[in-house]
Amino acid sequence: MNKPTRTTSAAHSGKEHIILREAGAEAADMLARVHAAAFGGEKGWSAQSIAEMLAVEGTEAMLALARETEADKQDDGVPVGMIITRMVWGDGEILTLGVDPSWRQRGIGGRLLATAMNGMVMLGVNRVFLEVAEDNTAAITLYESLKFERMGRRPNYYLQEGGRRVDALMMVRVFGVGCGG
């Protein structure tokens, strides 16, 4: 994948087309830039840690790229969203999902999550797990809209700005087994 020369915070007209593309270790820099934009620079994962994660069997990533036009195949697009997943023993896990703040509320996170879950189910995953900060109401609303259910809590899991700790909600989506789901 060629590196886009624009940044994730580039101005946008609202008429861009969003494409989803699988991303491997070669895209670790782009994934790290989107992660930093989505979660704040200090909380963002490094390109090296992302590349190391993607080297583990069963771990996959996907980028959401904004293009000026749907047909413009010469334009790789601006990376505006990302997801990293892992599959182990019939279970899936959302390791991280992030969208650049200037691109939120456009369905990008939902498309990334739904596409990743569909791929995992096609490979035999029966359950998908994730953790989310209990104060991230937009993400919780998204997850619940996709039938994730709360299953537990990790106290003081996330460190927020100013040293404040926030619990993680543990959520799961269980897919039907044997009856089309």
In order of their start, the domains of the chain are: 17-174 (3.40.630.30)
Percentage above 90 pLDDT, the chain: 72
Q: What is residue 77's predicted lDDT score, i.e. its pLDDT?
A: 87
Cα three-residue angle 14-148-64, rounded to 5 degrees: 30
What token pair was written down for 172?
A: 């799961």
Average pLDDT, rounded, for the chain: 87
| Helix segments in 19-161, DSSP class H | 28-39, 47-54, 108-122, 137-145
Convert the pLDDT of each residue in 11-28 to its tens digit: 444 557 899 999 999 999
pTM, rounded to two decimals:
0.86
